[in-house]
Amino acid sequence: MSLIAITDVHKRFGENEVLKGIDLDIAKGEVIAIIGKSGSGKSTLLRCINGLETIDSGSILVGGVQLSSEEKQLRDLRQKVGMIFQQFNLFPHLSAGRNVMLAQTVVKKTPKAEARKIAEEMLDKVGLAHRFDALPDELSGGQQQRVAIARALAMKPAALLCDEITSALDPELVAEVLQVVRRLAEDGMTLITVTHEMNFAREVCSRVVFMHLGRVHEIGPPAEVFGAPKTPELRQFLGVN
């Protein structure tokens, strides 16, 4: 059974229908890259999976449980699916370590000492064990994004959603973040990433989804999608003719 099952999902903002019937099944351990032009609906799809946007019709199942807008269910879902944002969104009033600890203690009621241990572990995993007490604005963009990854991992999610997580970074900081994501993929984490990093998509992902005008336009293993694009839209997007 697939971990995430998306069936005929529609979403509109006013007059503008951004998702026009999305079907997508994602198995445990898969690494998916969603690519496409801006406005193709790729970020919206990701936000729907996390319940940050409500869907107008269709269904999203995570671990066999239907996504609804009911607060309690949403809470359960979000503990299973973590999200990393383009703008990091660290809590600026809390140290890196506290950022990682907060949701554990508040949502999962993990005892402080244990939450701290997990936080240290997770920060170590992203190579920032030594910056536990640093405030977000004392960290570089790349470091902040790595803390954000540690923060999501601390909730022990079954899948991680990454929304253009390197787009706000200076070029020289992109590699350190992708390195962390690459290692997560190797460890078997289920990842769904909206990305502009085509090399990353080619090397790390099990499948690539090309979205166009609110639909899944083309889908397949990277070798196929990048090597032999079938549709003119994808060829144009990739700049091959």
Partner 1 sequence: MTDFTLWDIARNLLLALRWTVLLSLVSFVGGGLVGLLILFARIARPRALRVAAKLYIELFQGTPLLMQLFLAFFGFGLFGVSVPAWLAAGIALILWAAAFLGEIWRGCVEAIARGQWEASASLGMSRFEQMRHVILPQALKIAVPPTVGFSVQVVKGTALTSIIGFVELTKAGTIVTNATFQPFTVYGLVALFYFALCWPLSLTSQALERKLNVSHSHY
How far apart (Å, rounded) are the C-alpha atoms in residues 196 and 53? Answer: 22
Question: Given the complex with partner 1, which of 44 and 50 has the nearer CB atom?
Answer: 50
Instruction: Give me the least distance between CB of 199 and partner 1, in Å please.
Output: 27
**Number of other residues whose CB lies within 10 A of the CB of residue 81:** 23
Question: Given the complex with partner 1, which of 19 and 101 has the nearer CB atom?
Answer: 101
Instruction: Give me the least distance between CB of 96 and partner 1, in Å please.
Output: 14
Question: Given the complex with partner 1, which of 100 and 225 has the nearer CB atom?
Answer: 100
Residue 7: strand pairing partners = 59
Instruction: Give me the least distance between CB of 103 and partner 1, in Å please.
Output: 4
How far apart (Å, rounded) are the C-alpha atoms in residues 77 and 26? Answer: 16
Instruction: Give me the least distance between CB of 228 and partner 1, in Å please.
Output: 36
Question: Given the complex with partner 1, which of 91 and 223 has the nearer CB atom?
Answer: 91
Residues that bind partner 1 (CB under 8 A): 50-52, 71, 75-76, 78-79, 82-83, 85, 87, 89-93, 102-103, 106-107, 137, 148, 151-152, 155
Question: Given the complex with partner 1, which of 52 and 213 has the nearer CB atom?
Answer: 52
* CB-count burial class (<10 Å; 0-12, 13-18, 19+) for 135: middle
Instruction: Give me the least distance between CB of 170 and partner 1, in Å please.
Output: 15
How far apart (Å, rounded) are the C-alpha atoms in residues 185 and 190? Answer: 7
How far apart (Å, rounded) are the C-alpha atoms in residues 139 and 125? Answer: 17
How far apart (Å, rounded) are the C-alpha atoms in residues 111 and 235? Answer: 52
| Residue type for position 191 | L
